[in-house]
């Protein structure tokens, strides 16, 4: 099991988009005399939309990964209970075997 490669790819894509946005924002501030009221150009809007889509996909994959981990944990819990039941059954068999040996010994003494 592990993290799907698609998740890593989306993370790398997200990092690249954020870097592009930061560079573009710096360029805008330099170009217009550091005016914070400058509207985003259409390229930035596209990058923001791509960022939102990437984050949405990333969230979906994280949820899928979380569900997979939860299912695996439940299976391990069931497996643990099964192993405990098998151990108890083996202990019970050993006890019955010891009881049968004792009864055989007692019957041999009587005969």
pLDDT of residue 38: 54
Q: Summarize pLDDT for 84-99 with one digit per residue, the tens.
A: 999 999 999 999 988 8
Distance between CA atoms of residues 4 and 13, nearest Å: 15
- Tell me the domain boundaries of the chain: 5-110
pLDDT of residue 4: 72
> Is there a contact between 10 and 57 (Cβ–Cβ < 8 Å)?
yes
The pTM of the whole model exceeds 0.75: no
- Which tokens in the block code for residue 105? 């010994």
Q: Summarize pLDDT for 60-78 with one digit per residue, the tens.
A: 888 888 888 889 999 999 9
- Residue 26: HSE in the Cβ half-sphere, 13 Å Cα cutoff: 6
3 state DSSP class of 88: helix
């Amino acid at each position: 099991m592990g993290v799907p490669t698609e998740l890593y790819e989306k993370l790398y894509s997200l990092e690249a988009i954020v870097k592009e946005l930061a560079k573009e924002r710096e360029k805008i501030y330099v170009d217009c005399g550091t005016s914070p009221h400058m509207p985003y150009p259409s390229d930035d809007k596209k990058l923001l939309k791509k960022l939102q889509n990437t984050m949405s996909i990333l969230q979906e994959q994280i949820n899928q990964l979380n569900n997979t981990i939860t299912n695996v944990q439940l299976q391990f819990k069931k497996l643990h209970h099964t192993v405990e039941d098998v151990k108890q059954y083996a202990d019970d068999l050993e006890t019955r075997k010891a009881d049968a040996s004792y009864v055989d010994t007692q019957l041999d003494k009587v005969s």
